[in-house]
Structure formats: C-alpha cells, structure tokens
Structure 1
C-alpha cells in the first residue's frame, strides 16, 4: 500500500468532493466507485450521481464549508487556514480489501494523523482497472467549542508508519519506504505508474541508489573514486560536465540507459557542488584525469565474472597470440571478427585455436585499448 497526502488548501471543499465522487475528469480510468465511509449528516451522494443529479454532493459540500464559516464567526482571527485535507491509500495490483476492511483502514489512518469524531470526513473507493485506491477528504477543523485545527507537523512520517501498520494488519505486501527518496515527492502520475510496474518511479529508484552510495562512502571516509565505484556496483554511471578550467561543474547519473542530472534529482543535495561541499564526498582537483578514467570503467564488475582466454591465430607462415579477458560468448564473437580482419589484411588461411598462456601476446579487454606485452613484433614466424 502507498499513502499519499495531497497539498492542503483553503476555500471550499467543492472541488475535492466532486472529484472523489467522479463528477469531474480524472487522469486515470475508473471502472467503479463505492462510498466506503463518512460521518457527515448529509446523505451519500453516490446514488444521486448515478442517477444524474448532484444535489446531494452540493449538500455535502455545504456541510463541510459551514464549519469554517462558524469558525470565522466564533474566532476573531485574520490568520489564513487550510482546512481541506485530501489523502489517498492505494493497493498494489492484484490486492484488494473488502469495504469493511477499507473502513477499518481509513479510520485507523485518520486517527493516527490526529483526526477524531469531531472532524468531518468522507472516504470513496475507486476501482482503477486492476487495483483499488481510496480517496479521503477530511476537514482539519475540529467541530468543537475551540474550532482547533488538526496539526500537520511530521504528518508524512506518521502517514508512512500508519500505512505500514495497515499493511501488517491485512497481510498486504510492504511498499518501499518513501524515506529512501530523500523526501522527493511522488506525483500522482508517477504513483499510478509505479503501482502498475510494481516498483518505485525511476527518479526515486535513482535517488535511493545514490543516497545509499553517499552513506556508504561517508562510512569509510571515502572520496569521489569510492562514490563512483559504489554506484557502478549498482549499474549507475556518472557523467561530468567540465568548465573552462577542465574541472567538474555539473554531474548527471545514468541507469538502465536513462540519464538524469543531479539538479533534476534533488537540487539541494545531488548537484556536483552539493556532493563535495555538503554531502562530504571528498574531491581533489588534481585527480580529475584519474577520476575520468575511473568513471569510464563501466565493465569492471562484468570483468570480475569474465575468464582469461589465450588464442592462437595462425596460418602456414604466421602466428599471433591474443589474450582475451571476457565472457566466453563474447570471445567467440570477437574471434570471428578478428579472423575476418586478418584474412583481409594478410590473406586467407588463418585459423584460431585456444592455447596455453604464452609470454608474448596482445591483451584484449572489451572497451579498452589493445595492450602489446613485451614489445611483441605482432606476428611470429609459423612453425
């Protein structure tokens, strides 16, 4: 389950209440609507809406709005307030709760956030293709003698804890903790996409990976080289933008073929400047060339799983040895390409066979320059 609190607002409840009852256009398909719970005196608007009449919706809106009017008449204060509270609880695809279970979940959630029986609320379930979610609209004004407001300090942390307890109560799959995204909010569209894909949105997965690498780097008092290697283990690669002096001025991150800048991810923490001045990632400007080489080493983790192969390429008069550090399937593909090149340059008749290690060879690692060991004259005489 994912819990999302939408920005609170002042003014009338009309827009939110009409939205949750399906009276306005949605950004997702709704295959069913069901009123889960309400403590309002006005009747359930849904039957009237299905019959094409919004009278009961407007009656409910009037009931919500009247509390703020009474508060203004009772309390002599010019302080602006935001009484409109709107939250959503979303299940993962394939999971569902009964109306009774949803009612219990909604009441627990509101109670955990500080709402009580003196706060008006209404909860409506939307069936969105293959997953359920419930919208909750509540009045933050207590309908009592003081017309006090439900406090919203630390509400997002409270919301996460409440959702986790609801998951435990009903045996729901545990959602990734939003704290891993360093407080970057998830848009409604991203939320819907993540539910369908059964994972956090790309931006938030990136932040979680980078945050973990920063924490691990700091734990060992590491530097930008350490940070780069830790990211590479997670298949996250760094790209630097250099200034006129050849020093980094910007940083972007690549994962699964997608690129995003540190500024776009989290401007207050993941720009190049913030990483080295605020997040404690040490960087020596004198090491820029070595750092660029380290950043370019994308294949290091793959090479750990690779083997070393020696192959002899020979015809009747010439013999050449190449050492490959790669996976077997890569080696076989490379051999075919090398044979074709050698045949074009030196004529046909070359064959390749695996050999024992030799002293003189060309060292070939995919993605790196060729290295000639022991100043080899490329071809030795054939046997």
Structure 2
C-alpha cells in the first residue's frame, strides 16, 4: 500500500469532494466507486450523484464549509489557515480489501494523523480496473470549543508508519521506505505509474541505486572512479557537463535509457558540487581525462574483469601459440587444461610463457575443452590467422 497526502488548501471543500465522488475529470479510469465511510449530518451523496442529482453532494459541501465560518466568528484572528485535507491510500494491482476492511484502514490512518470524531471526513473508494484506492477528504478544523486545528508536523513520517501498520494488519505488499528514495516525495503521476507497473518510479529507483553507491564508496574510502564503477555494476551511468576550464560543473545519471540530472533527482545531495563536498566523494581535477574515459564505458562488470591472453607453449622441438580469454582467477587452471590438450597433440614437454600477438595461433574457448579434444581427434587442430 502507498499513502499519499496531497497539498492542503484554503477555501471551500467543493472541488475536492466533487472530485472524489467522480463529478470532475480524473487522470484515470473509474470502473467502480463506493462510499467507505463519513461522519457528516448529511447523507451519502453517491446514490444521487450516480443518478445525476448533486443535491445531497452540495449539502455535504455546505456542511464542511460551514465549520470555517463558525471558527472565523468565534476566533479573532486573520491568520490564513488551510483546513482542506486530502489523502489517498492505494493498493497494488490485484490486491483488494472489503468495505469493512477499508473502513478499518481509514479509521486507523485518520486516528494516527491526529483526527478524531470532532473532525468531519468522508472516504470514497475508486476502482481502476484491478487497482483499488481510497480518497479521504477531512476537515482539519475540529468542532470543539476552540475550533483547534489538527497539527501537521511530521505527518509524512506518521503516514508511512500508519500505512505500514495497515499493511501488516491485512497482509498487504510493503511500500518503499524513505531510505529507498532518500525522502524524495512521489508525485501523483509517478504514484499512479508505480501502482500500474507494480514497481518503484524510475526516479526513485535511480536514487536508491545512487544512494547505495555513495554509501559503498564512502565505506571503502573510494573516489569518483570508485563511485562510477559501483554505479556501472547496477547499469547506472554518469554523464558530465564541463565548464570553460574543462572541469565538471554538472552531472546527470542514465538508467534504462533515461537521463535525469543530479539536480532534478535530489538538489540537496546529488549535484556535482554536493557529491564532491557534502557526500565526501573525492575528485582530483588532474584526472579529468581518465574520468571521462571511465564514465564513457558501458561494459558490464563481467566484461571488465575479462582479459585476452596469448601464451607460447614451448618445447625443445616446437613452439605453439594459444589465444584465449580468462578471468585472472581462472588463468592457471586454463593453462593446465591447455597443457593437457597439447600433450594429446604433440606429446609432453611444453612450458607456457605469456607472449605478444602472433600471426598463427590456436583459438581456445573456455569451458569447451572436451569438445576441443574430440574435434582434434577428427581434424587435427585449427590454426587462426
């Protein structure tokens, strides 16, 4: 489940309430709509709305708006307030809750955020194909003697904890935590795309990868080269923008064919300046040429660790050259395999010496020694030019 708190607003509740009851244009298809719970004196307006009659809806809006009018007459204050609270609780595709379960989830969420029975609220569920989500509109003004306002300090972290509790209660999929996205908020469009694709939005996925690379770089007292290589392991690539002196002034990150600047990802942490000062990733201006070559690489970690070797296998009677690729840790094992092959062909007595490129050599493919020997039985051996 993902919890989203929309920006609060002043003035009438009209637009928000009409929106959640499906009376205005939506950015998603509504295949079903259901009132979950409300605590106003006015009755559920949904039956009338579905028949094209908004009389009960207007009555509910009037009741919400009236509270601020009462507060204004009772409290001598010109301070601007934003009483309109709007939140959304969204399930992953394929997950669902019954109406009583949704009612329980809404009650817990509102209570955790500091709302009680003195605050008006209405909760409406939208069904978008196989995706359920509930909109909650509430009045932050309490209907008590002093018309106090529900506090909104730390509401984001409280919302996350509340959603986590709801997930545990009903066995729902866990939403990404702030450490996964470095506290970067998710926009409404990103939230909808995330729910539709059952995945983190690209922006937040990139931030998670970059954050991990920063932590790993610092843990090994690494530098910008270390940072670049750690990102490349995750298929995240760096692109630098240079100033007139030929030094980096900007940085962007590439993942899955998409480019996002560090400033757009997280201005307070992922710009070039922040990475090299605040985040402690060391950069030596003298290494700019090498760094440009490093950031331009797109090979995988497996490819980085592979070398091509040409060895001279020498005996008293002859010299034979074999070219093969190998990871360093497998080198000696492969030489042993080659000695077996050459002994099969020419008899023993060969000693290996690493050499430079030669015109004639035998091509050796790791992991296919047996097939190679079987082929030699039929064809002698293949010499590559």
Contact 1:303–1:325 (Cα < 8 Å) also in 2: no
Residue 222 of structure 1 and its aligned partner are, at CA, apart by: 2.5
**1:361 aligns with one of 357, 363, 373:** 357
Matches of 2:384 and 2:95 in 1, distance apart? 70
Q: Deviations over 1:319-353 (max 9, x none)?
A: 99755469xxxxxxxxxxxxxxxxxxxxxxxxxxx
Matches of 2:36 and 2:10 in 1, distance apart? 25
Say if 1:46 and 1:382 are closer, same or farther in 2 by CA, change over 3 A.
closer
Matches of 1:239 and 1:81 in 2, distance apart? 45
Q: Deviations over 1:80-139 (max 9, x none)?
A: 000000000000000000000000000000000000111100000000111100000000
Residue 306 of structure 1 and its aligned partner are, at CA, apart by: 5.3
Contact 2:233–2:300 (Cα < 8 Å) also in 1: no
Residues 1-383 of structure 1 aligned to structure 2 (within 5 Å):
1-303=1-303, 323-324=324-325, 359-361=355-357
Residue 218 of structure 1 and its aligned partner are, at CA, apart by: 2.5
- Which SS does the other structure have where 1:100 is aligned? helix
- Which SS does the other structure have where 1:252 is aligned? strand
- Between 218-227 and 63-72, report the one with greater CA deviation: 218-227
Residue 358 of structure 1 and its aligned partner are, at CA, apart by: 6.0
- Which SS does the other structure have where 2:86 is aligned? strand
- Which SS does the other structure have where 2:264 is aligned? helix
- Which SS does the other structure have where 2:240 is aligned? strand
Matches of 2:29 and 2:308 in 1, distance apart? 55
Residue 12 of structure 1 and its aligned partner are, at CA, apart by: 0.3
Match of 1:341 in 2: none
Contact 2:113–2:159 (Cα < 8 Å) also in 1: yes
Calculate the aligned-residue CA RMSD, in Å.
2.5
- Which SS does the other structure have where 1:87 is aligned? strand
Contact 2:311–2:354 (Cα < 8 Å) also in 1: no
Matches of 1:200 and 1:70 in 2, distance apart? 44
Matches of 1:267 and 1:165 in 2, distance apart? 31
Contact 1:223–1:281 (Cα < 8 Å) also in 2: yes
Residue 229 of structure 1 and its aligned partner are, at CA, apart by: 1.8
Matches of 1:357 and 1:212 in 2, distance apart? 42
Matches of 1:287 and 1:309 in 2, distance apart? 29
- Between 180-189 and 60-69, report the one with greater CA deviation: 180-189
Say if 1:358 and 1:213 are closer, same or farther in 2 by CA, change over 3 A.
closer
Matches of 1:176 and 1:214 in 2, distance apart? 19
Matches of 1:141 and 1:281 in 2, distance apart? 48
Residue 183 of structure 1 and its aligned partner are, at CA, apart by: 2.5
Contact 1:321–1:360 (Cα < 8 Å) also in 2: no
Contact 1:36–1:124 (Cα < 8 Å) also in 2: yes
Give the TM-score taking structure 1 as reference length: 0.81
Residue 310 of structure 1 and its aligned partner are, at CA, apart by: 6.1
Matches of 2:88 and 2:167 in 1, distance apart? 15
Contact 1:34–1:126 (Cα < 8 Å) also in 2: yes
- Which SS does the other structure have where 1:132 is aligned? strand
Say if 1:251 and 1:382 are closer, same or farther in 2 by CA, change over 3 A.
closer
Matches of 1:171 and 1:46 in 2, distance apart? 30
- Which SS does the other structure have where 1:149 is aligned? coil
Q: Deviations over 1:190-233 (max 9, x none)?
A: 11111111111111111111112122222333221221122122
Matches of 1:224 and 1:304 in 2, distance apart? 17
- Which SS does the other structure have where 1:199 is aligned? coil
Say if 1:382 and 1:237 are closer, same or farther in 2 by CA, change over 3 A.
closer
| Number of residue-to-residue matches in the alignment | 331
Contact 1:320–1:361 (Cα < 8 Å) also in 2: no
Contact 2:20–2:135 (Cα < 8 Å) also in 1: yes
